[in-house]
Structure 1
Amino acid sequence: MKAFISTAAGLTLSLALAVPVLAATSAPPRPVTTYDKTVMERYFAGSSTASGTFKAITGLRRDLDIRLRGTVRPGGLTLREDIRYKDGQAERKTWRFTRTGPTTYHGTREDVVGGTTVHVNGNTARFTYLVDLDPGPKQSLYRFYDRLTFSPDGRSMTNTATVWKAIFPVASVKIDFKK
């Protein structure tokens, strides 16, 4: 009987020591909060320039030049765009992209309604968003479908977009970026 009590006590002590070790090794993995930089963070860090064209189905064509300044921060990217149209109009837009996963971002901009989700797959990023093109109290919403294609050498990128009003495609955009 004495041997049984000694064995039982030894087993209890062994279990008491083993349970925390087993619990620590079988705990679910912690979510990763830092990710490798995507092609967006690598490309847009620092300064870049771009030029392109907005073409509407009405025949309207607006050529534009853009100076960009990207700041990579923990958890995402801020991208300031200083846009100058050939007709002299100028505007500044600022995208704020927050990492939501290894290849996804949530993006906001001052004229974007509701934000966007950006999906990065290799050297391509895709996103869609609503823009209110009427700065007044009445909304005039257009949906942009953007595709960013980054060159393998990291020195250029092309943004192509289709613009929709309700169920009709009404414009296209092509902008070429350079580092």
Structure 2
Amino acid sequence: MRTLMPRLKLSALAVLALLGGCAGPDVQQYRAQQPALDLAAYFTGTTDAWGMFQRRGGDVVKRFHVTITGTSKDGTLTLDEQFRYSDGTSQQRVWRLVRGADGLWRGRADDVKGEAIGELAGNALRWQYTLLLPVDGSTYQMRFDDWMFLIDDCTMINRASMTKLGVELGQVTLTFRRRACAP
């Protein structure tokens, strides 16, 4: 019986991972939605974002503000993100994004394992990647499934699910606002 329990737990995790990987809408269902998102046009310049991380039970663990400076050169969109967290800590992430011939966006950042993949359709972007997340001296590989929706020319909303081994651990919610739109 003792050897059976670990196998059952592993099997249950495998089933959850498979179900989690298959779930979710197809970004193409938003292809007719307006305004259409032009990723490079939206993020070129300075954009502010306000967000929070919630555990899967709903508790807000951290709030943050991000200042994003976007530049576009030679087909590469660079996003320099400066995070300021509610606990007083700060962080920087620099994304380098390129749109492929297949229409998919591909991106890299120092704290992202491998390549991030983004599919754009209409007003929506689905952005998937594995973030190397430092917590209490350890680094965890967390899978992010971001959904960004352009609301108007100035405002975009992002909701991301954070999972490990197919189990959702929490969600990140962000609201982006382009500074060029400030009154």
> Do they fold alike, i.e. is TM over 0.5?
yes
> Which residue is equivalent to 1:97?
97
CA RMSD in angstroms comes to 2.1
> Which residue is equivalent to 1:176?
175
Q: Deviations over 1:34-79 (max 9, x none)?
A: xxxx611110000010101111136451000011100012212000
The residue correspondences of 1:160-171 to structure 2 (distance < 5 A) are 160-171=159-170
Percent identity over paired residues:
28
The residue correspondences of 1:1-179 to structure 2 (distance < 5 A) are 39-57=38-56, 59=59, 61-101=61-101, 103-134=103-134, 139-151=139-151, 153-179=152-178
State which drifts further: 130-139 or 110-119: 130-139
Instruction: Report if aligned partners of 2:76, 2:98 keep a CA contact under 8 Å in 1.
Output: yes
Instruction: Report if aligned partners of 1:147, 1:159 keep a CA contact under 8 Å in 2.
Output: yes
In the superposition, the TM-score normalised over structure 2's length comes to 0.71
Instruction: Report if aligned partners of 1:55, 1:62 keep a CA contact under 8 Å in 2.
Output: yes
Q: Deviations over 1:105-129 (max 9, x none)?
A: 1100111001111111111111211
Change in 2 beyond 3 A, CA 1:161/1:100: same
Q: Which structure's relative contact order is higher, taking Cα pairs within 8 Å and 6+ residues apart? A: 2
List gaps (5 residues or longer) in structure 2: 1-36, 179-183
Instruction: Report if aligned partners of 2:98, 2:105 keep a CA contact under 8 Å in 1.
Output: yes
Instruction: Report if aligned partners of 1:39, 1:150 keep a CA contact under 8 Å in 2.
Output: no
CA–CA separation in structure 2 for the residues paired with 1:62 and 1:138: 18
Q: Which aligned runs of 4 or more in structure 1 are off by greater than 4 angstroms?
A: 135-139
List gaps (5 residues or longer) in structure 1: 1-37
CA–CA separation in structure 2 for the residues paired with 1:60 and 1:75: 38
1:39 maps to a residue whose letter is D
Count matched residues. 142
Q: Deviations over 1:72-119 (max 9, x none)?
A: 122120001100001101001011101212632110011100111111
1:114 maps to a residue whose letter is G
Instruction: Report if aligned partners of 1:75, 1:99 keep a CA contact under 8 Å in 2.
Output: yes
Name the larger-Rg structure: 1
